[in-house]
Structure 1
Amino acid sequence: MTKAIKLLTALPQPQRGRLTALAREVSFPEDARIFEAGGRADRFWVIRSGAVSLTQEVTPVQRVTVASLGAGDLLGWSWLFPPYEWDFGAEAFSPVRAYEFDAAAVQALCEEDPQLGIVLVRSVAEILAHRLEATRGRLMEHYALHGRGSL
């Protein structure tokens, strides 16, 4: 499996500097719900420290963790694609410090600097491809260990 891609380090320095100029530092206490599936996706974060669980609601009282994110990871990509709603929920697994980016400001920057926009979208796409591959691997392990049907 390939190494996880970190958004800020994936961007070349000039684009990274322009993007990080828009960041504001935020923190979330352990167990804080950062966002809910179906909510308005108008921002994203790059985690500085701590851990975040991406969750999927199975029933109104049961959530399953679909991914765990840590330092350097991108949290939130739904701001890039209509209908701009979160596909998953997110919860702080531990105290979290992060850089928060306003989606409208980042989109305006990308309009102003199309090269940054291309690099940013490619970086996010690479991150999503890596996460999809990791999820596929976990599903294969689950089915191999539990012998439940065929894929």
Structure 2
Amino acid sequence: MGRIFKNLILLVVMTGSSAVGAAAEDFPAYWRKTMTNDPQTNFYLAEALKPLPNKNAETIKVVRLSLIAGNLCLGAAVDRRTGEAFLQRAGYNRLRGKTWDEAVFLADDWFKYFNYRSLAHLCAGIDYIFGPEGKLVPNLVKPGKGEPKGSYDPQNPYLRLPPLRKPNG
């Protein structure tokens, strides 16, 4: 009886995990219609291009977008030289104290409800944002495949984004 029970549990675990894996491999097909490199059809891309009211917050938003795109999108990578030049031009290393706190607060508000759907649409529009003729910072992120690295989990669609570290302490 004990052996049968153990085998039954093993069978349930094996079939359950394969069903979850199969369901989590790809995202819903209806997302594909809006996962474009065009802000007219890609709402998330259009939202990413809207400037924030504070120049420093906009800089932090661009940094976060590039790090997300470069690390969470399949085949994408951040160009370090272009990134460092952008940070220097934008004055990122001079942000400190209350200026840093206000900018991070405004920028983080944009990412408050960042989920897998947002990521999938961002990955699809990387070239428009950061490509050779990118609207935010040209050549900052190599586009890759236009899809997220991880699989979609409808039970847990929200992504926890780590906070940015303050420059120079």
> How does the TM-score come out when normalised to structure 2?
0.27
- Decide which structure has greater strand share: 1
- For the pair shown, the structure with the greater C-alpha radius of gyration is 2
- Decide which structure has greater helix share: 2
